[in-house]
Amino acid sequence: MQKYLSNVVKVGPYKLGGKNPVRVQSMCNTNTRDMTATVAQILKLEKAGCEIIRVAVPDMAAAKALGKIKKRIHIPLVADIHFDYKLAIEAAEQGVDKIRINPGNIGSDENVKKVVTVCKKKKIPIRIGINGGSLEKDILRKYKGKVTAAGMVESAIRHIRILEKHNFRNILISLKASDIERTVEAYRMLAKKVDYPLHIGVTEAGTTFRGTIMSSIGLGILLYEGIGATLRVSLTADPVEELKVAWEILKSLKLRKKGVTVTSCPTCGRTQIDLISLAKKVEEAVEFMDKDIHIAVMGCVVNGPGEAREADIGVAGGNGAGAIFRKGKVIKSVKEKEILAALLAEVDKLK
């Protein structure tokens, strides 16, 4: 993969952009004013692999809650703000690690200057977030009322120039549309024009099933082309599901290693065990296990031995039984009802 080498921006302990790893983000769906619920969700997301978390800041009460929330979590906190520059200033004073706000939407140049001043002082980066559904009216008119990739890039450049005018370059950018084509095209275009780190995602991608497909294709294309310093999989679902998909995308492209990789065959007429149920149970058992290992769950002896050679631990099903493999070698055969326990016992032995 050819890496898009952007500038490096620091968010909390993480360096984003350049040759640094792609980091996984998510967003709380709690009321930020409810600190107890918000902290509880963030801690849950941390366990699922969230590395950067964003929360909505719709008013001053939410902004003032940020400091207390930050003290109780362990990952960088991002304040998501629209229109009100005072909320951005308060979020910065509360110690957030990044602010998402578009400088062209917060009123006068003096307002922008106030936000930039506090972010410079506290070394807080600003993410410019362009959404296909909320482009400026004059840009929409220019492109005959249509949301285009070119229009999204033009909007991004406009916001960037506002910050650069104030000598602020601690910037990240996102360009999200609700379809793959415009999203990919917009990021490709922007990557040729700027050298800021890019946060990637397909917005409003849908429920878990459709959203997973949309995000996997869109993000997969961009990541394979080296575009993306951070990513969020946007799903109409529990944010934990976003993290599961995000990590699988990164692991599939061999960009990050985290947790257990489970491969399983699609089943066919040769399958002689309840492979679908077994594969699901294995996946659930190792879901939050922090081991960089590969497990293969295979339904028969045709592909099983070959796949097992690629896996740390594997099973090849037979007639009501299963052969357990370790590093490609059969170590035992067990009855079908014993396969899950025997497989997990071998997993526990691996570091």
Strand 23-27 versus strand 230-231 pairing type: parallel
- pLDDT tens for residues 192-218? 999 999 999 998 778 999 999 999 999
What SS3 state is found at 11? Answer: strand
Q: Return the higher-pLDDT residue of 320 and 66.
A: 66
More confident residue, 305 or 152: 152
Average pLDDT, the chain: 92
State the pLDDT at residue 351. 74
Between 261 and 38, name the one with better pLDDT: 38
Angle at the Cα of 289 from the Cα atoms of 285 and 295, rounded to 5 degrees: 65
pLDDT at 2: 66
pLDDT, tens only, 315-340:
988 888 888 988 888 899 999 999 99
Question: Does the structure show a pLDDT above 90 at 68?
Answer: yes
Q: Where do we find the tokens 């002689």?
A: 272
Least-confidence region, from 2-6, 45-49, 133-137, 190-194: 2-6
What pLDDT, in 10s, does the model give residues 232-271? 999 999 999 999 999 999 999 999 987 788 988 888 877 7
Q: Which domains does the chain have, with CATH numbers?
A: 9-252 (3.20.20.20), 261-349 (3.30.413.10)
Q: Say how far residue 270 (Cα) sits from the centre of its chain.
A: 38
What is the model's pTM?
A: 0.90
What pLDDT is recorded for position 310? 78
| Cβ proximity of 103 and 125 under 8 Å | no
Question: Looking at residue 29, what is its pLDDT?
Answer: 96
Task: Give residue 46's pLDDT.
Answer: 96
In sequence order, the 6+-apart residues with CB closer than 8 A to the CB of 299 are: 264, 265, 267, 268, 270, 271, 272, 273, 275, 316, 317
Tell me the C-alpha distance between 97 and 53, whole Å.
10
pLDDT on residue 1:
60
Round to whole Å and give the CA distance between 219 and 246.
Answer: 9
For the segment 41-67, the average pLDDT, to the nearest whole number, is 97
* Cβ atoms of residues 187 and 222 within 8 Å: yes
pLDDT-derived band at 308, boundaries 50, 70, 90: low
Pick 287 or 157 by higher pLDDT: 157
In sequence order, what DSSP letters do the residues of 46-113 get, joined into one string? HHTT--EEEEE--SHHHHHHHHHHHHT-SS-EEEE--S-HHHHHHHHHTT-SEEE--GGGSSSHHHHH
Q: Is the pLDDT of residue 304 over 70?
A: no
At residue 232, φ and ψ (nearest 5 deg) are: -135, 130
Residue 316 in 3-state DSSP? strand
Average pLDDT on 70-77 reads 98
